[in-house]
Amino acid sequence: MDISTIIGFICGIVFVITSIMMGGRLGLFFDLPSVMITIGGTFASVLISYPLNKFLNSLKSARLVFKTQEFDTGNIIQKIIDLANIARKEGLLALEEAAQSMEDKFLQKGILLIVDGTDPELVRNILETELAFVEGRHKEVQGFWETVASLGPAWGMIGTLIGLINMLDQLNDPSSIGPSMAVALVTTFYGSVLANFISTPIANKLKIRSSEEVLLKEVMIEGLLSIQAGENPRIIEEKLKAFLSPTLRDTVNEKDEGEAKAGE
Amino acid sequence: MDISTIIGFICGIVFVITSIMMGGRLGLFFDLPSVMITIGGTFASVLISYPLNKFLNSLKSARLVFKTQEFDTGNIIQKIIDLANIARKEGLLALEEAAQSMEDKFLQKGILLIVDGTDPELVRNILETELAFVEGRHKEVQGFWETVASLGPAWGMIGTLIGLINMLDQLNDPSSIGPSMAVALVTTFYGSVLANFISTPIANKLKIRSSEEVLLKEVMIEGLLSIQAGENPRIIEEKLKAFLSPTLRDTVNEKDEGEAKAGE
Amino acid sequence: MDISTIIGFICGIVFVITSIMMGGRLGLFFDLPSVMITIGGTFASVLISYPLNKFLNSLKSARLVFKTQEFDTGNIIQKIIDLANIARKEGLLALEEAAQSMEDKFLQKGILLIVDGTDPELVRNILETELAFVEGRHKEVQGFWETVASLGPAWGMIGTLIGLINMLDQLNDPSSIGPSMAVALVTTFYGSVLANFISTPIANKLKIRSSEEVLLKEVMIEGLLSIQAGENPRIIEEKLKAFLSPTLRDTVNEKDEGEAKAGE
Amino acid sequence: MDISTIIGFICGIVFVITSIMMGGRLGLFFDLPSVMITIGGTFASVLISYPLNKFLNSLKSARLVFKTQEFDTGNIIQKIIDLANIARKEGLLALEEAAQSMEDKFLQKGILLIVDGTDPELVRNILETELAFVEGRHKEVQGFWETVASLGPAWGMIGTLIGLINMLDQLNDPSSIGPSMAVALVTTFYGSVLANFISTPIANKLKIRSSEEVLLKEVMIEGLLSIQAGENPRIIEEKLKAFLSPTLRDTVNEKDEGEAKAGE
Amino acid sequence: MDISTIIGFICGIVFVITSIMMGGRLGLFFDLPSVMITIGGTFASVLISYPLNKFLNSLKSARLVFKTQEFDTGNIIQKIIDLANIARKEGLLALEEAAQSMEDKFLQKGILLIVDGTDPELVRNILETELAFVEGRHKEVQGFWETVASLGPAWGMIGTLIGLINMLDQLNDPSSIGPSMAVALVTTFYGSVLANFISTPIANKLKIRSSEEVLLKEVMIEGLLSIQAGENPRIIEEKLKAFLSPTLRDTVNEKDEGEAKAGE
């Protein structure tokens, strides 16, 4: 579970509800016709924008925001150094066995390409193409939520315009102006909450997750090519640690103190 | 028929009409002078922006949004692998026959260039230039709809300003203020719907379609050059599958299980 | 004459005037002090933004929007293929004569550089530098109109603020509020029309014209270098036609059916 | 202490408080429920946007804005020239001792890589990767404050909408309209101050600091590689001074007048 | 003196003052507390954004906008061709004397590097690094004025919010509403004028000046390297003139008619 997402959602909901109840009644802010025009209208526009399968995939991607997805770069660097040591001592073919137990599909594929004796240029080419498309798919999902974030307030305004025009046309009863305008503004409120509390933050967190995953895969590509080139494990470690922040770097140091030296 | 476009348009229209009728009368929202200044003004500005032939072409492109346009990348990769097998067994010249029955003009052109013995650098040059211009023309059409999306609300506001100024000048009869303002706001409503329900979603879907087509053509170029270079069909498959998402990748695997092996 | 520009301007003016006259009197919208603060203020800011010669040049560039400027890429490609045929049969020096009758200065300059036996790298260097600066000057002019488009509404708002502040300060006579606000809003109306009906569409059309001219010059550079390299006219044709849209491509085919074959 | 940050914050606070007290009472602008919805809501959205550790790190980074962080590029260039002189006279290994007393970790690491006899290409690769990630982490923190700056006014508006809707629903007592609207607007005021007085300026200063640090590290990389290549200290000086503004350049000149000559 | 800047400022001030005086009294628009919150608040935020020395430098840079700064590219090209002739006839060392009388520091530095026999790659490296940093410093100053342009209206709105909230809280006296709102709006007026009449135009003109200076220095680098390579002055002229607009090109032609031929 991603703690910050959950704290964020709970706090936001509590703040909004408290804020409403301190000045009025909550029921005023639950208005089904307003939900229909704001949320319904937004998703109608988004449906025109995206093919059905991308629409559903992107909606489902919102789940990811609640799941913790630890990208333990330090751990992966350690694994790559271990592989480099194996390759140095027992030859590239010995990596095949190690690859079997790999959980990460990308790293596994890379090792198998190396074991197959694929040309280094082609290994880089295949892995970078795959990385580019992983990044592209991530961007598409972020784009979906950014589209929702820009269409939400627009449909909120369309709803408010409908309410206002209807109200202005029936100005006979002055006492009804206030409540009518209140209802008209609820769609603007929905649009604003949809954009700034839901879709923009989701797009933001997906973007950060994506950049972490891309960084991890870049480390893997760099490491795999170094292993294939038969570079010294110590140099590989030096190279890969440049990808880490100083704090993370120390965690690798601790772990591999014994092993890295043994591997030389 | 593109299902999501159609569901989107129908839902959107139903939501807007229901929303209007729940609070007032539909007639109020159909106002010919408002159509003239908002839609007419927008297209007047767009006409100044684009030459007549691009204006008409871009308008027509809206049709595409309703048509399904399946870019079956998996299928194309399969075809390229088949071609690679033919080229390996029977030589590059044997591809000429296969090219005759190709539906895709781009792939066909590429094969004919290879059969003609064109220099690989020139083949890449010609195909990439063509791809760049296909992409350029797509961008132009998307740009048209984005221009409409930015000018629509602007002309909606111009219409509302005209209505407001006229109303404010004739403030004699207080009872007419409401209805006059209602009418003045209808143009803002039109501009907002034009931008957020029609032109932005059309531009979005055209953009996604374009990126799918460009990806497909990139796969073709990569594949054609590999065939020309006489690469092993298995390696070509590996290379091209890096362009696919993991789910699509499996569909290729199933299809070519038998064939790919036979081709080695 | 550029038909779409003219239709656009006429339609826009008719729509605005009709829309005004349907709800009020036209005179209300012609207010000299409002013209002064909106148009005058905008051009005061633009004058600070640009040196005087660029200011005047950019203003004059608005004329181009009314002129048709056909960039007949198909025709130019045909001409380059003809030149390639001459060069092949009679040698590069024979191009000097053909260059004399060229209307296009850029193409002529390129041919003369080739005839002079200039180094191919230098020919590309000179022509691409020139193209880059042509594009740069176009961008500057488009930037001018985009500056007008962003400052216009801003000065419209400044005018409205002046009107509003003056009106609010003299709230003694309630009957004057309406007409005063009407006048105050006229500047916002001017700013909006200046931006969305005049300067943005002018900037847009200049941008499209520029991209067409740049494309044409890119075709020329590619063609000239191919001629200098002594490439086969048929291959040159294939290369240059990749720059065209499929429809334009056919027009070249028709024209050169006889000639191209003869040139081999 | 960074003087401009402190002057800026003090002046801004004084101006806002004076401005409030000149026209009303300060208490009106301190409203706990408004703080909750604006600041609370903003940070709820930001919490969903960022993982918890990045959220806390970025918040802490605000401290940096108060600290002076002199990037004395002139001084670093001087140090590099000194190192170049040592390397020339006593060999690369003599740099190890000098590296011990270095305060700057980045420079120290670079020297140690050189002393270890690492391949120049790899030295550049490692240092540039590290620099790219330093820059990436800076961008992330700036992005955090820009996110706050865009969500702050949005939540201010959500707060105002809640206040407005509640007020409009209870229009019975006309005398309460004014004060209710006043309170509703306080959240917009908070959002605007949060964005334009706090988060945008913080993001701006972090950006300038980052670009200064990146420049310094670029100078270091350039200098280290020149030392490794055994270039003449005078040429290294010439190369590195091109990174400085003319005024800073003179300060280097003064300092090294004697030394640089001695080093030749 | 830069005529367009001065005409622009005078016209703008005249238009604003005339516009104010036609509808009200000028005194209403001079309000010290409003100046304090808008201008003061803006500069408080800008002070937090920039270190003190950059803040002061950028403020001073506004002077440049009033000074004419002719970048006579045609003249510089002529000078470079003269230098090329000297170098051809009397050798590179003869340039040292010519460099003494150069006014332009950049050109002078370049010649001295050539005379010193510096490696061409290093000459390009040093001059391009210096150019990149000149451009960087220009961008920083433009960024300062763009920051002012974005913060000005924001603080104008903060001022108006303070005024509005205070006014709404004291709605007892209906006759005071108008004048109070008038005063509240004055800060929005200030913010808008600051952004659209002062800081945006200053940023624009600084940008154009910068691009002219950068172009000039690019011509110098290209010319210096050609001189060092011992290229024919006629070819150098051809190369450099590609950087000019057709009109400027003719002015060079006239001047060097005699000299260029003599130099061959």
DSSP state of E88: H
Taking only the tens place, the pLDDT of each residue in B106-152 is 899 899 889 888 889 889 988 998 899 889 989 999 999 999 999 99
User: Model confidence over B75-117: pLDDT tens digits?
Assistant: 888 889 999 998 888 888 888 888 888 888 889 989 988 988 8
CA triplet E3, E5, E7: central angle to 5 degrees?
65
pLDDT band of residue C149 (cuts 50, 70, 90) is: very high
What Cα–Cα distance (Å) separates residue C57 from each residue in C1, C65, C210, E212?
A: 20, 14, 16, 16
Whether residue B6 is found in the same domain as residue B128: no
Residues of A in contact with D129 (CB under 8 A): 239, 242-243
Whether D121 and D144 share a structural domain: yes
Which residue from C154, C176, C193, C177 is spatially nearest to C37, judged by alpha carbons?
C154
Same domain, B90 and B203: yes
A177 with A59: CB under 8 angstroms? no
The 3 state secondary structure assigned to A171-185 is: CCCHHHHHHHHHHHH
Does residue A23 register a pLDDT over 90? no
Q: Identify residue B201 by its one-letter amino acid code.
A: P
* Number of domains composing chain A: 2
> Which pLDDT score, from 0 to 100, does residue B260 have?
42
Q: Please, are residues E58 and C41 in contact by the beta-carbon 8 Å criterion?
A: no
Q: For residue range B153-171, list pLDDT tens digits in order.
A: 999 999 999 999 988 888 7
CA atoms of E108 and D166, how far apart (whole Å): 72
Cα–Cα distance measured from residue A149 to residue A144, given in angstroms and rounded to the nearest whole number? 9
Q: Which of A173-177, C58-62, D177-181, E182-186 has the lowest mean pLDDT?
A: A173-177
D204 and D230 assigned to the same domain: yes
Residue C239 and residue B47: Cβ atoms within 8 Å? no
Residues D3 and D79 occupy one common structural domain = no
Nearest to D155 among A9, A188, A196 (CB): A196
Interface-testing mutation among D3, D6, D9, D11, with chain E (most E C-beta atoms within 10 A) = D11
Q: Assess whether D9 and D83 both reside in one domain.
A: no
Which candidate from E48, E155, E157 shows the least CB-CB separation from D8? Answer: E48
pLDDT of residue D142: 95
Mean pLDDT, range C110-138, rounded to an integer:
89
Number of H helices, E strands in chain A: 12, 0
pLDDT, one tens digit per residue, over C22-71 is: 888 888 899 899 999 999 999 999 999 999 989 999 999 888 888 877 67
Closest in B186, B195, B208 to A50, CB measured: B208
Cα–Cα distances in angstroms (integers) from residue D165 to residues A160, A177, D248, in the given order: 12, 12, 58
Burial category of D53 from C-beta neighbours within 10 Å (exposed 0-12, middle 13-18, buried 19 and up): exposed
CB contact under 8 A, D208 and E158: no
Among the listed residues E199, E236, E195, E188, the one whose alpha carbon sits nearest the alpha carbon of residue E77 = E236
pLDDT at E190 over 70: yes
DSSP B67: S
Q: How many CB atoms lie within 10 A of CB C116?
A: 14
* pLDDT for the residue numbered B264: 39
Mutation choice for A interface testing from D31, D35, D39, D47 by most A CBs within 10 A: D47
The 10s digit of each residue's pLDDT in A108-134 is 989 988 888 888 988 998 899 889 988
Are C240 and C229 found together in one domain? Answer: yes
Cα D181 versus chain centre, distance: 38
Q: What is the mean pLDDT of residues C187-215?
A: 94
Amino acid at residue number C259 = E
Give the whole-angstrom CA distance, residue E51 versus residue D205: 8
| Dihedral pair phi/psi, residue E91, rounded to 5° | 90, 160
Q: Are residues E42 and E3 in the same domain?
A: no
The per-residue pLDDT of chain E, averaged, comes to: 87
Q: What sign has the CA pseudo-torsion C243, C246, C251, C252?
A: positive
Domain hosting D152: range is 33-264
Name the residue with tokens 């009869």: B173
Residue E185 exposed, middle or buried by CB count within 10 Å (0-12, 13-18, 19+): buried
Is there a contact between B226 and B83 (Cβ–Cβ < 8 Å)?
no
Spatial separation of the C-alpha atoms in residues A164 and A159, rounded to whole Å: 9
What CA–CA distance (Å, rounded) separates E257 from E167?
74
**Which of the two residues, B233 and D72, has the higher pLDDT score?**
B233
Instruction: Give the chains touching A; criterion: ≥3 Cβ pairs < 8 Å.
Output: B, D
Whether residue A201 and residue D48 make contact (CB cut-off 8 A), yes or no, is: yes
Say which residues have a Cβ less than 8 Å from residue B169's Cβ, sequence separation at least 6: C24, C25, C28, C178, C179, C182
Q: For residues E233 and E103, state if they share a domain.
A: yes
Q: What is the DSSP letter of E67?
A: S
Q: Quick one: how many helices (H) and strands (E) in chain E?
A: 12, 0
A177 vs A7, A100, A229, D140, E225, CA distance in Å? Answer: 39, 71, 77, 47, 76
D119 and D244 share a domain? yes
Count other C-beta atoms under 10 Å from residue A12's C-beta: 26
Euclidean distance between CA atoms B148 and B137, whole angstroms: 17
Inter-chain residue contact E37 with D24, CB threshold 8 Å: no
Q: Which residues of A touch D38 (CB under 8 A)?
A: none
On average, the pLDDT of chain A sits at 87
Q: Which two tokens stand for residue A168?
A: 């202005």
Highest mean pLDDT among A66-70, C258-262, D122-126: D122-126
Q: Of E118, E129, E154, which is closest to D196 when you measure between CB atoms?
A: E154
* CA pair distance A137, A120, nearest whole angstrom: 26
For residue C56, list chain E residues with Cβ-Cβ distance below 8 A. Answer: none
Determine contact, residues C45/C155, Cβ cutoff 8 Å: yes
Kindly report, residue by residue over B24-58, the tens digit of the pLDDT.
888 889 989 999 999 999 999 999 999 998 999 99
Of A86-90, D118-122, E245-249, least confident by mean pLDDT is: E245-249
Burial class (CB in 10 A: 0-12, 13-18, 19+), A89: exposed
Distance linking the first and last C-alpha atoms of chain A: 40
Residues B105 and B175 in one domain: yes
pLDDT class for E149, splitting at 50, 70, 90? Answer: very high
Residue E199 DSSP class: I
Q: Give the closest residue to A186 by CA, choosing from A70, A59, A31, A60.
A: A31
**Residue D196 pLDDT level (bands cut at 50, 70, 90):** very high
Assign A25 a pLDDT band (cuts: 50, 70, 90).
confident
Query: Tokens for A135?
Result: 């990044």
Q: Which residue of B has its CA nearest to C65?
A: B48
| CA-wise closest residue to E166 among E181, E188, E187, E182 | E181
Chains E and C touch (3+ CB pairs under 8 A): yes
ipTM value of the model? 0.87
pLDDT at position D16 is: 94
C124 and C179 together in one domain: yes
Q: Which chain A residues contact residue B188 at CB under 8 A?
A: 161
Query: Which pLDDT tens digit goes with each residue over B189-243?
Result: 999 999 999 999 999 999 999 998 998 999 999 999 999 988 888 888 888 888 8
How confident is residue B254, by pLDDT bands cut at 50, 70 and 90? Answer: low
Q: What pLDDT digit, counting tens, does each position of D221-236 carry?
A: 999 999 998 888 888 8
- pLDDT tens profile A174-230: 777 888 888 899 999 999 999 999 999 999 999 999 998 998 999 999 999 999 988
CA distance C47 to C57: 12
Per-residue model confidence (pLDDT) at position A88? 87
**Nearest CB neighbour to E133, from listed D19, D204, D242:** D242
| Span A160-172, average pLDDT | 88
Given a contact cutoff of 8 angstroms between Cβ atoms, the answer to whether B38 and B147 are in contact is no
Res. E262: pLDDT tops 60: no
Written as one string, the DSSP assignment of C97-164 is HHHHT---HHHHHHHHHHHTT--HHHHHHHHHHHHHHHHHHHHHHHHHHHHHHHHHHHHHHHHHHHHH
pLDDT at B42: 96
Contacts of D228 (CB under 8 A, 6+ apart): D92, D114, D120, D123
Q: Is D105 exposed, middle or buried (0-12, 13-18, 19+ CB in 10 A)?
A: exposed
The structure's pTM equals 0.90
Whether residues A200 and D151 touch (CB distance < 8 A) is answered with yes
**C-alpha D110, offset from chain centre:** 24
